[in-house]
Amino acid sequence: METPPPGTAAVSGWLGQAWAVLHKDLLTEIRVAAASTAVGMFALVTLAVVSYAVGSAPLDPVVEASLLWIVLFFSSSVGLSRTFVKEEETKTAIALRLTASPSVVLGGKLAFNCVLMLLLAILLVPLFLILMAVPVRSPLLFLVVLTVGLIGLAGGSTIIAAIIAKAKVKAPLFGALIFPVLMPLLLLLVQSTTHTFEGSSWSQVSSYLLGLVGFAGAMITVSFLLFDVVWES
């Protein structure tokens, strides 16, 4: 067992260290706004194009749900990989490797991507619902599906970002890996979101919801299991 050196009475735990990584990333993002600008601009442009193309034509709920998650998925793909890619490109990853355990780094980066996804959803989802005139007949259920979906997207994107961060050709590799990994999640999200637009009850959506929670949970668990190898290789 490792004993802490003298004078480290206020040794912070895992959560405190992961919070430090999240705080650093938020501070950096506030000052540079690299990822949030990329994600926000892509989301707004995509949404504008989609709403212009669709116009006032009535759409099937499944099409509306598909469009919503397509916009969210591609917008997140633009920005979420930045969290690890930037560390490698600016050579700050060395100092991070020297001072933080891999799980702390992943925890902080995952939390940062969740925050970024949450901000993206706050910006995008109300605009999407208004511009596309989508009625959400089960709003509480919709919020639950949205939240689990965003966490799942952030979880999948974070570990793929870590895997591709050291590659020479990053963006194509990210696209090639993220799509098959998140495909089952996206299919579940489209199905469950369709139900929330149609006004289905909790019991009708419960199997989809369980699938979503299971997939997001499995994605994050596997990420923590794999990350030591990914980060230190």
Partner 1 sequence: MIHLIVDSLSKRYGTRQVLSDLSFEAHAGRVLVITGPNGIGKSTLLRCLAGLERLSGGKASWLEKGVEWDAAAKRRRLGFLSPEMILYEELTGLENLRFFARLRGLPPDERVLRALLERVGLDGRREDPVGNYSSGMQQRLKWAFALQGEPQALVLDEPGITLDSDGFQLSGELVYESRERGTIVIVATNDTREIELGDGRVILG
Residue 193 CB partners (closer than 8 Å, separation 6+):
65, 68, 69, 142, 145, 146, 149
Quick one: which of 20, 44, 50, 129 contacts partner 1 (CB under 8 A)?
Answer: 20
Nearer to partner 1, 12 or 201 (CB): 12
CA distance 55 to 57: 6
Quick one: which of 15, 32, 133, 171 contacts partner 1 (CB under 8 A)?
Answer: 32
The verdict on 100 binding partner 1 (CB under 8 A) reads yes
Q: Nearest approach, Cβ of 165 to partner 1 (angstroms)?
A: 15
Query: In Å, what is the CA distance from 81 to each residue of 16, 143, 209?
Result: 24, 25, 26
Count of positions on this chain that bind partner 1 (CB under 8 A): 33
Quick one: which of 37, 48, 60, 99 contacts partner 1 (CB under 8 A)?
Answer: 99
Query: In Å, what is the CA distance from 204 to each residue of 84, 141, 195?
Result: 39, 11, 8
The verdict on 98 binding partner 1 (CB under 8 A) reads yes
Tokens representing residue 46 in the block: 């995509």
Q: Given the rule CB under 8 A, which residues bind partner 1? A: 2, 4-5, 7-12, 16-17, 20-21, 23-24, 27-28, 31-32, 90-92, 94-101, 104, 232-233
